[in-house]
Structure 1
Amino acid sequence: MTESQRWFLLIVTLILGALVYMLAPILTPFLVGALLAYLFDPVADRLEAAKFGRTGAVVTVFVFMTAVLALTVLLLLPQLGRQIQVLLERVPMIIDLVEKRLVPLLESTLGVDLAAMDLGTLKSMLAGNWQQTGSLMAQLAGGITRSGLAVLAWIANLVLIPVVLFYLLRDWDLMMARIRMLLPRYLEPRVALWANECDEVLGAFIKGQLLVMLALGIIYAVGLWLVGLDIALLIGMLAGLASIVPYMGFIIGIFVAGIAAFIQFQDPMVLFWVGAVFAVGQALEGMVLTPLLVGDRIGLHPVAVIFAIMAGGQLFGFVGVLLALPVAAVIMVLLRHLHQGYKSSTLYGSAQVAEVELLNTEADE
């Protein structure tokens, strides 16, 4: 590229970054719609190949998504509300367990004085106030309804997401072709290569990993339900969501489920069954779910996922969280090509040649 072309690309990148920063408050429904369009475009393409027509394929996808969403709301949300209420009721029991068993154990093991921890006051405060909070859903709804503008913005975003999704999904392939045609001809082959590699990375983490998270959430919830845990669904969903980072769902899930099971049953043997549930889930993830749903596609490193999400949230809020993985995938692809360019450059090659010459000189001596 010439100097002017480099400056042009830099200016365009800076302008796009500034626009994202300034328009972040209104970008959420558009980004959510774009993410859903990206996820369901392969489904629409397959239906279109089966003689549905693009609009018919999009309508079919919409009907399926609406049915799944309605089923989730009708079946899962009431159960989650009840299980959250059960969890709130047991908070004083958790504090009792910490105060009477864990604190003495730590004091005798570590030789430290933990008497300064005022757990009794905290327990009394929680025990006296949790009943007044009512249902968590009702509390959230009450907080929202106190602000008319917040309600209107929330409803507008909810209504806008399916509208944006419909039009993006209907015209997705056409938009991608037009964007490709708008690229400068000298950049188009390289950008197309990078885009394919980014799609491979995102496919592994957004498409494949979401399915793995859903499957693990179901496995953990069903397994803990068979154990008899009252808040099995809540913990299963928490562990499934945390599984976006490999092993994080297993660690968080077995820790939270172990505490909840011990408090509910007061029997150390139940910890064995909780461990068995998560061991089976981890084995299925490694041997079945990940090879089947993700395959050998290149994914993002777990540390890169954590850093990208935290950095995106810090810089751009919720919009940054939505943009974190796509941007991380692009950066990863660029760094890979930069590494390849460095390995083939004279800067790297000259040192390599010097090392070979030094070895040859030492061998002659």
Structure 2
Amino acid sequence: GGVREHMFKLTIPAYEEDFKKMGNQISKIWNAFLRGQLIIFGFTVIIYTILLSAMGVRYSFLLALLAGAARFVPYVGPFVAWTTYGLVSLFQTNYFGFQPIVFALVVVGVALVTDLLLDNFVSPRVMSDVLKVHPAAVLVMVLISASLFGFIGVLLSAPLLATMQLISTYVFRKLMDQDPWEGLQTFPPPVSIKITFEKFWNRILSLFKRKKKTDKKS
């Protein structure tokens, strides 16, 4: 077994160390992506729990969990979630005095706006932080991947971008006869999800505090 494994093992001595480093960094990229997805899930659950509870929608926490899970399945997930919100809202009373159909439309409308904000602001920012890429680049990559690969492309666009960035930088520096790892953005050991989430949540709160101060001055 060991002899056969050695015979079929392809190695390039001059690049063996680089391959190890590259594999290690790519592994960290995808681990960071998973952490980012969990942060987005948690943030979505919190936001939806607050919104749905404020509107008096039944089973708000369960629906918030559905909203979080929908982040993992682009297009299909949100559609299923919106439909569920609408049906739950349609068959309950509400303290706004709206007709059931009107209340259901309001709830779905709020969900649409919330998801729009999550997709265009929160998710790119989270992925930018955990993957060390620019949020605008993440957004552009999402659009390109969506047109080429559909919802799978949307889901995996951020880690693919970070991986492509790492590999292209490595190749460019090799072609320029430079040390490919000197000054290259590498990924540190993963920080716990709790710390990462708290950091992001504190950043959101600081933005609101800054806005309040600006409003008071004006």
> TM-score of the superposition, structure 2-length normalised?
0.50
Deviations 1:93-138 (A, max 9, x none): xxxxxxxxxxxxxxxxxxxxxxxxxxxxxxxxxxxxxxxxxxxxxx
Asked if 1:238 is matched to 2:66, the reply is yes
Alignment counterpart, residue 270 of structure 1, candidates 103, 106, 120: 103
Taking a change above 3 Å as real, the CA distance of residues 4 and 249 of structure 1, as seen in their structure-2 partners, is: closer
Identity level (%): 24
CA apart distance, 1:237:
0.8
Taking a change above 3 Å as real, the CA distance of residues 4 and 207 of structure 1, as seen in their structure-2 partners, is: closer
CA apart distance, 1:264:
1.3
CA apart distance, 1:252:
2.1
Asked if 1:210 is matched to 2:41, the reply is no
Matches within 5 A, 1:1-365: 7-8=8-9, 186-203=15-32, 205-265=33-93, 267-295=100-128, 296=134, 302-303=151-152
**CA contact under 8 A between 1:217 and 1:237: conserved in structure 2?**
yes
CA apart distance, 1:236:
0.8
Looking at structure 1, the residues matched to 118 and 34 of structure 2 have their Cα atoms a distance apart, in angstroms, of 16
Taking a change above 3 Å as real, the CA distance of residues 6 and 293 of structure 1, as seen in their structure-2 partners, is: farther
Larger fraction in helix: 1
CA RMSD of aligned residues (A): 4.0
CA apart distance, 1:247:
3.8
Unaligned runs of 5+ in 1: 10-183, 307-324, 342-365
**CA contact under 8 A between 2:41 and 2:69: conserved in structure 1?**
yes
Looking at structure 2, the residues matched to 5 and 201 of structure 1 have their Cα atoms a distance apart, in angstroms, of 29
Letter of the 1:226 partner, please give it: A
State the aligned residue count.
Answer: 139
Aligned to 1:138: none
> TM-score of the superposition, structure 1-length normalised?
0.32
Taking a change above 3 Å as real, the CA distance of residues 223 and 6 of structure 1, as seen in their structure-2 partners, is: farther
Taking a change above 3 Å as real, the CA distance of residues 246 and 199 of structure 1, as seen in their structure-2 partners, is: farther
**CA contact under 8 A between 1:227 and 1:273: conserved in structure 2?**
no
